[in-house]
């Protein structure tokens, strides 16, 4: 939807609600269960559908993107995806995660066709609308929560420790759409419902200081470069 002249509040609202409807069709939940001798730990997050492949009639394999820290738990007993109350859970497999960048791939099969996200790797500007979709805190209760903000900064570089304990520099999109624990791996979308980033962390301060709406996402061009060679049946 493109509005050139005489933009009204209704025009903007229509564009946003249309974008949300498109984006939610490709956003799902992730549940990781880890077991040790004494405890069972459940971690939840979000993910975005990247591609699908029809295996046989009515059975589809879906490949989804999420965060490495969502799936990189110890003693993983099971990995599941959640597709909402009406559809429920499906078993999944961790395909790949990157040791430097907080990105991972998961696959699962289900007798349902799901929409894949459309990527937009260009024309990301400060001040543009940013729509975050994910499932904070309680996967089922707050499934696919929508928050809206704007792009606050691009090319935000941060030195951090990778999965092997080495210091690397990663680049992020900064935005002010609210995200919380469980949003990790969910999508950041533009006003056209196109995927522009994978949400991964928010700034809370050195002493857990309360800092408002400083959220960060992996730019989709960086995320795609990290995973493109690990996509099954890459075309």
Three-class secondary structure of residue 227 per DSSP: helix
Structure tokens of 13? 């609202």
Structure tokens of 171? 């680049």
Which of 107, 135, 184, 215 is labelled catalytic?
A: 184
Which of 46, 52, 69, 175 is labelled catalytic?
A: 69
Whether residue 78 lies in the annotated active site: no
Which of 98, 102, 107, 152 is labelled catalytic?
A: 102
Core vs surface per residue 54-91: b (16+ CB within 10 A) or e: eeeeeebbbbbbbbbbbbbbeeeeebbbbbeeeeebbe
Whether residue 69 lies in the annotated active site: yes
End-to-end Cα spacing for the chain: 29
Instruction: Report the C-alpha gap between 52 and 50 in whole angstroms.
Output: 7
DSSP result, 155-192:
EEEEEEE-TTS-EEEEEEEEE-S---TT-TT-EEE-TT
Whether residue 52 lies in the annotated active site: no
Catalytic residues: 69, 102, 184
């Amino acid at each position: 939807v493109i509005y050139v002249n005489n933009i009204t509040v209704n025009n903007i609202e229509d564009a946003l609600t249309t974008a949300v409807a498109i984006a939610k069709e490709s956003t799902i939940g992730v549940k990781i269960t880890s077991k040790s001798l004494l405890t069972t730990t459940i971690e939840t997050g979000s993910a975005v559908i990247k591609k699908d492949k029809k295996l046989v009639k009515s059975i589809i394999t879906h490949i989804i993107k999420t965060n490495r820290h969502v799936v990189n738990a110890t003693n993983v007993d099971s990995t599941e995806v959640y597709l909402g109350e009406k559809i429920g859970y499906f078993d999944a497999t961790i395909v790949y995660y990157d040791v430097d960048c907080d990105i991972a791939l998961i696959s699962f099969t289900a007798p349902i066709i799901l929409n894949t996200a459309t990527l937009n790797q260009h024309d990301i500007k400060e001040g543009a609308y940013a729509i975050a979709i994910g499932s904070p805190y309680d996967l089922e209760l707050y499934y696919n929560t929508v928050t809206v903000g704007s792009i606050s900064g691009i090319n935000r570089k941060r030195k951090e420790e990778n999965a092997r304990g080495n210091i690397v520099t990663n680049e992020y999109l900064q935005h002010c759409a609210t995200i919380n624990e469980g949003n990790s791996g969910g999508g950041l979308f533009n006003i056209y419902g196109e995927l522009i980033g994978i949400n991964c962390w928010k700034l809370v301060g050195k002493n857990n200081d309360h800092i408002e709406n400083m959220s960060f996402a992996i730019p989709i061009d960086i995320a795609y470069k990290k995973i493109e060679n690990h996509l099954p049946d890459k075309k």
